[in-house]
C-alpha cells in the first residue's frame, strides 16, 4: 500500500458524562498511534478525578500492541479536562496542540486573573502551525486551522480521516456552538468550508455526540454525508449559517464544566499545584461570562 493510500485504523471511545469522543488513530503498517482529545474524568459534585477513561484507552493500545507516538488535543476543551499529561507520564509520548492556543491562554489568563500563567504554549511539547505536516508511523498527517468554536481549534487530517473536534457534529446534529469567549460563527463557516473541501470520501470524526432522539452514540460520517445531510450546511449560505448559529447559541446555557475545565486545559491538562494542605483547588471567576444564558 502506497503512503498516499495509507489509511489509519481508528477507534473511538465515547465518554458518556460529557458526551465526548476520544480517539486512537493507528498506522496499519507500524502500529504507531496517536491518542486524540483524551478525557480526564471529573465529578463536579464531589470534586473527584479519575483516570478511568484514559486508562481504558491505554489498555486498548496495549491489547493491540500499538505504540503511542503522539498525544493530540484539537483545542482547549470547555466541557472536560484533558488527560494529556496523565498519558504523557505513562507513555512518554509528546503532547501537541495548535499554535494559536496562546490566544486562548491570553484570553482566559485575564478571565481567571492568572498573573503567573505562561501564555506561550510551553505547556505542550509541540505547537502545530496551519498546514504543518507530521507523521504517525508511516501515516502522513497535516493540520488545518479551524477557528470559530475557539480561537485555537485545529483539525487533524490523518490519511483519509479528519478529526474535526467541535466544528461538525453528526449530520443529524448540525454544528458546534460559537459563543464561547473568542468564538465566531462567521469564522466557523470559513473553517467548515475548508473541511468540506476535502475529498467526499474523507472520514469525518467528531468530538461530541449528544444522541438526538435517544439514539446510540455515533461519531463517524463522511464529507459527502455532511454536505448532503447536515441541516446547518446543506443549501445554506454563509449569512444563513451565521444567523442560524447565533440564534441557536443565544438559547444555550454554558457547559457545566467550562469554568472548571478551561483553567486546567490552558495549562495543557495540568491540575493546579497542591497547596500547603496537600489539596488542589480550582478557581472560579464570578460574573465573568456576563452574556451567558441561565
Residue-wise pLDDT for 23-72, tens only, equals 999 999 999 999 999 999 999 999 999 999 999 999 999 999 999 999 99
What local confidence, expressed as pLDDT, does residue 294 receive? 85
Residue 37, helix vs strand vs coil:
coil
What is the reported pLDDT for 212?
95
Q: What is the mean pLDDT of residues 163-186?
A: 96
Q: Is residue 214 part of a domain?
A: yes
The verdict on residue 47 lying in a domain is yes
pLDDT single digits (tens) 138-153: 999 999 999 999 999 9
| 3 DSSP 8-state letter | G
Is residue 1 predicted with pLDDT exceeding 70? no
Whether residue 135 is predicted with pLDDT greater than 90 in this model: the reply is yes
Question: Distance (Å, rounded) from C-alpha 96 to C-alpha 128?
Answer: 7
Q: By CB neighbour count within 10 A (0-12 exposed, 13-18 middle, 19+ buried), where does 282 fall?
A: middle
Region 92-111: mean pLDDT is 98
Q: Provide the grid cell at 120.
A: 506561550
pLDDT at position 218 is: 98
pLDDT at 2 over 80: no
87 within domain boundaries: yes
- Inside any domain, residue 23: yes
Mean pLDDT within 98-122: 97
Local structure of 128: helix, strand or coil? strand
Strands (E), the chain: 9-15, 20-26, 32-36, 39-43, 48-50, 67-72, 81-82, 95-98, 126-128, 133-136, 139-145, 154-158, 161-163, 203-205, 220-222
Tell me the pairing of strands 39-43 and 81-82: antiparallel
Q: Number of folded domains in the chain?
A: 1
Are 188 and 194 in contact by the 8 Å Cβ rule? The answer is no
Look at residue 226 and tell me if it is in a domain.
yes
68 in a domain, yes or no? yes
Task: Give me the DSSP letters along 207-245.
Answer: SB---GGGPPP--EEEHHHHHHH-TTTTT--HHHHHHHH
On whether residue 283 sits in a domain, the answer given is no
pLDDT band (50, 70, 90) for residue 290: confident
C-alpha grid cell, residue 35: 491518542
Flag whether pLDDT at 9 surpasses 70: yes
Is pLDDT above 90 for 111?
yes
Q: What is the pLDDT of residue 28?
A: 98
Task: Report the CATH number at residue 232.
Answer: 3.60.15.10
pLDDT band at 4 (very low <50, low <70, confident <90, very high): low
Count of positions (residues) in the chain: 294
Q: Side-chain half-sphere of 27: how many Cα atoms within 13 Å?
A: 22
Of 117, 130, 221, 139, nearest to 172 by C-alpha is: 221
Is residue 3's pLDDT more than 80? no
Integer Cα distance of 72 and 127 in angstroms: 10
Q: Where in the sequence is the domain holding 32, given as residue range(s)?
A: 8-265
The proportion of the chain whose per-residue pLDDT surpasses 90, expressed as a percent, equals 96
User: Cα–Cα distances in Å, from 192 out to 113, 189, 205, 226, 258?
Assistant: 33, 5, 14, 10, 24
pTM exceeding 0.85: yes
What is the rounded average pLDDT for all residues in the chain?
96
**Residue 285 located in a structural domain:** no
Instruction: Give 204-219 pLDDT, tens digit per residue.
Output: 999 999 999 999 999 9
Amino acid at each position: 500500500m502506497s503512503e498516499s493510500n495509507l489509511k489509519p485504523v481508528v477507534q473511538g471511545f465515547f465518554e458518556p458524562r460529557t458526551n465526548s469522543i476520544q480517539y486512537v488513530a493507528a498506522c496499519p503498517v507500524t502500529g504507531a498511534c496517536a491518542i486524540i482529545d483524551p478525557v480526564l474524568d471529573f465529578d463536579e459534585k464531589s470534586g473527584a478525578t479519575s483516570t478511568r477513561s484514559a486508562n481504558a484507552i491505554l489498555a486498548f493500545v496495549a491489547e493491540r500492541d500499538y505504540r503511542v507516538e503522539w498525544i493530540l488535543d484539537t483545542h482547549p476543551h470547555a466541557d472536560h479536562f484533558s488527560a494529556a499529561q496523565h498519558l504523557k507520564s505513562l507513555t512518554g509520548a509528546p503532547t501537541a496542540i495548535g499554535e494559536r492556543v496562546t490566544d486562548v491562554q491570553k484570553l482566559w489568563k485575564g478571565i481567571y486573573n492568572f498573573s503567573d500563567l505562561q501564555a506561550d504554549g510551553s505547556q505542550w511539547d509541540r505547537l502545530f502551525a496551519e498546514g504543518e505536516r507530521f507523521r504517525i508511523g508511516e501515516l502522513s498527517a497535516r493540520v488545518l486551522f479551524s477557528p470559530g468554536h475557539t480561537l485555537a481549534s485545529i483539525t487533524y487530517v490523518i490519511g483519509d480521516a479528519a478529526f474535526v473536534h467541535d466544528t461538525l457534529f453528526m449530520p443529524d446534529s448540525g454544528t458546534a456552538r460559537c459563543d464561547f469567549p473568542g468564538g465566531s460563527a462567521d469564522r466557523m463557516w470559513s473553517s467548515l468550508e475548508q473541511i468540506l473541501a476535502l475529498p467526499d470520501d474523507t472520514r469525518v470524526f467528531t468530538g461530541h455526540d449528544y444522541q438526538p432522539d435517544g439514539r446510540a452514540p455515533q461519531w463517524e460520517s463522511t464529507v459527502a454525508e455532511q454536505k448532503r445531510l447536515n441541516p446547518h450546511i446543506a443549501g445554506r449560505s454563509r449569512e444563513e449559517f451565521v444567523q442560524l448559529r447565533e440564534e441557536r447559541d443565544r438559547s444555550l446555557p454554558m457547559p457545566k464544566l467550562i469554568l472548571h475545565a478551561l483553567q486546567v486545559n490552558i495549562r495543557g491538562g495540568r491540575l493546579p499545584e497542591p497547596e500547603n494542605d496537600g489539596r488542589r483547588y480550582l478557581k472560579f471567576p464570578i460574573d465573568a461570562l456576563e452574556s451567558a444564558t441561565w
